[in-house]
Amino acid sequence: MSGIATNRVGVRELRIGLLGCGMVGQAVVRALEASSGRLAEAGVGGKCVVALVRDPDRPRATSGVALTSDLETWHQHGVDVVVEALGGVEPARTLIARVLSSGIPVVTANKSLVAAHGLELQRLAAQRGTALYFEASVLAGVPCVNTLARRPLASGRGHWAGIVNGTSHFVSSQMAHGRGFEDALTEAVARGYAEPASDADISGRDAAEKLTILLHLAGHGDVTVDDFPRRGIGDLEPWHFALAGRLAGVLKPVVMADTAAGGGAWVGPAFVGQSHPFAQITGVTNILSVGRGEATVTFSGPGAGPDVTALTVLDDVVEAASGRAPCSLPSPEASVPVARHLRTPKAGAWFLAIDRVTSSAGELAEFLSGNHLPALALACEDQRFGVLTAPARHSTLRAAVEAIAASGVRATWWPVLEVPRG
């Protein structure tokens, strides 16, 4: 970073190169202009000089930024810092590797890339005397990654729970008020919360990528996105929410992982009782808690959108310009393996939604007891039952649900989010 020009008042004038200039890239250009005063106070100024895009002729609000689809032209602009806002794994991985290899720091908000290749790219950066910054890849609107990464005792508390995807949280919050899935998703797209291609949000993949990065930061470099049991929100129906409500709870898209006490993980909807702190969080808001009981640390704030993401990206640009080290992902030698403990949901209470039952509540409770899954509470509406069960292992739950299915009745299950206790 020694070649960066410094102006008369000691502000380092950065030449920033963008890889990608869509929602986030354009928000970075806007925020750089709008926040120039604050950035100057931090000793950093500069402008986005060039952006690599697929279609340079597409209209976008980026006056003064050279747009090109030609990589060699992009490289010729000579930049001090690169902001990657392409999305996806390739070509982002190859392009970032080339930039890092030439000793230039990279800032990214790309969780797919960091979850799959963050460790290898950070190693490459260290070898070349530069760095990869990725605070905006997880809960971009709630900058907690650096805090956790620099606090090994906080991030080592082992019990992770969060609502980390704003789109699926908005959709499920709407469904809790009686709206259908498609209707709620259409509104999320119209409000700009969800992209038209929102498969990664709906399937839970986006949330699983964020959980992977958090566990890497906690020192568990062996974890991959596919290690977690995962279910999307696409099969939720309004009656599931109605029955959850009758049992004093709501269904919310969560991530959970326990690396300390017996293992277990889940990415997908969970029953959240009204007494749980997460029950009060609605809309696109994100929340993340680490630890248990009185030792729980909680972060909460706006779900990511391009504008909040751009601010976190620019904070990372300041970090890069200041030469501060990014949070580091563990080397394979230092990694503490936990992946094999995360491949099944943790034992606990379960919420069952059972459709078109002809038996009575008493008969259903007796059936569940006979299958080692006692019901603690039941609610019934239009021949549909919601059941909160006693704590049981996942294998016991599966066996009971298979027994229900064998009797010709459709049953769906979700875990109950454990209430943190002191």
Ligand X SMILES: NC(=O)c1ccc[n+]([C@@H]2O[C@H](COP(=O)([O-])OP(=O)(O)OC[C@H]3O[C@@H](n4cnc5c(N)ncnc54)[C@H](OP(=O)(O)O)[C@@H]3O)[C@@H](O)[C@H]2O)c1
Q: Which C-beta is closer to ligand X: that of 79 or that of 140?
A: 140
Q: What is the DSSP string of 278-325?
A: GGG--TT-EEEEESSGGG-EEEEEPPP-HHHHHHHHHHHHHHHHHTPP
Closest distance of CB 133 from ligand X, Å: 14
In a 10 Å sphere around its CB, with 0-12 CB exposed, 13-18 middle and 19+ buried, how is residue 133 labelled?
Answer: buried
Check binding of 54 to ligand X (CB under 6 A): yes
Q: Which C-beta is closer to ligand X: that of 20 or that of 263?
A: 20
Active-site residues, by number, are: 210
Figure out which of the listed residues 82, 93, 110, 341 binds ligand X, where binding follows CB under 6 A. Answer: 110
Tell me phi and psi for residue 390, to 5 degrees: -70, 160
Check binding of 114 to ligand X (CB under 6 A): no
Of 127-135, 292-300, 301-309, 362-370, the segment contacting ligand X by CB under 6 A is: 301-309
Taking the C-alpha atoms of residue 56 and residue 63, their distance in angstroms, rounded to an integer, is 13
Q: What end-to-end distance do the CA atoms of the chain give, in Å?
A: 48
Figure out which of the listed residues 45, 229, 269, 306 binds ligand X, where binding follows CB under 6 A. Answer: 306
- Judged by CB under 6 A, the chain residues 117 through 136 that form the site for ligand X are none
Check binding of 309 to ligand X (CB under 6 A): yes
Of 84-92, 124-132, 232-240, 293-301, the segment contacting ligand X by CB under 6 A is: 84-92
Contact in structure between 66 and 53 (CB atoms under 8 Å): no
Contact in structure between 360 and 380 (CB atoms under 8 Å): no
Closest distance of CB 132 from ligand X, Å: 14
Q: Among all chains, which residue has been given the structure tokens 């005063």?
A: 37
Of 48-56, 117-125, 280-288, 401-409, the segment contacting ligand X by CB under 6 A is: 48-56
Please work out the total of residues on this chain that contact ligand X, with binding judged by CB under 6 A.
23
Taking the C-alpha atoms of residue 236 and residue 316, their distance in angstroms, rounded to an integer, is 37
Q: What is the DSSP string of 91-142?
A: THHHHHHHHHHTT--EEE--HHHHHHHHHHHHHHHHHTT--EE-GGGSSTTS
Instruction: List the beta bridge partners of residue 159.
Output: 258
Check binding of 52 to ligand X (CB under 6 A): yes
Taking the C-alpha atoms of residue 46 and residue 48, their distance in angstroms, rounded to an integer, is 7
Of 18-26, 246-254, 323-331, 361-369, the segment contacting ligand X by CB under 6 A is: 18-26
- Minimal CA–CA distance to 257: which of 157, 326, 182? 157
Check binding of 53 to ligand X (CB under 6 A): yes
In a 10 Å sphere around its CB, with 0-12 CB exposed, 13-18 middle and 19+ buried, how is residue 64 labelled?
Answer: exposed
Check binding of 212 to ligand X (CB under 6 A): no
DSSP 8-state assignment for residue 348: B
Q: Which C-beta is closer to ligand X: that of 138 or that of 417?
A: 138
- Judged by CB under 6 A, the chain residues 368 through 397 that form the site for ligand X are none
Taking the C-alpha atoms of residue 96 and residue 106, their distance in angstroms, rounded to an integer, is 7
Figure out which of the listed residues 1, 4, 23, 42 binds ligand X, where binding follows CB under 6 A. Answer: 23
Figure out which of the listed residues 50, 104, 140, 251 binds ligand X, where binding follows CB under 6 A. Answer: 140
Check binding of 21 to ligand X (CB under 6 A): yes
Q: Which C-beta is closer to ligand X: that of 55 or that of 382?
A: 55
Contact in structure between 353 and 77 (CB atoms under 8 Å): no
Q: Which C-beta is closer to ligand X: that of 263 or that of 305?
A: 305
Check binding of 279 to ligand X (CB under 6 A): no
Q: Which C-beta is closer to ligand X: that of 67 or that of 368?
A: 67
Q: Which C-beta is closer to ligand X: that of 20 or that of 345?
A: 20
Check binding of 25 to ligand X (CB under 6 A): yes
Of 16-24, 175-183, 352-360, 400-408, the segment contacting ligand X by CB under 6 A is: 16-24
Residues near ligand X (CB under 6 A) are 20-25, 52-55, 58, 85-87, 91, 109-111, 140, 304-306, 309
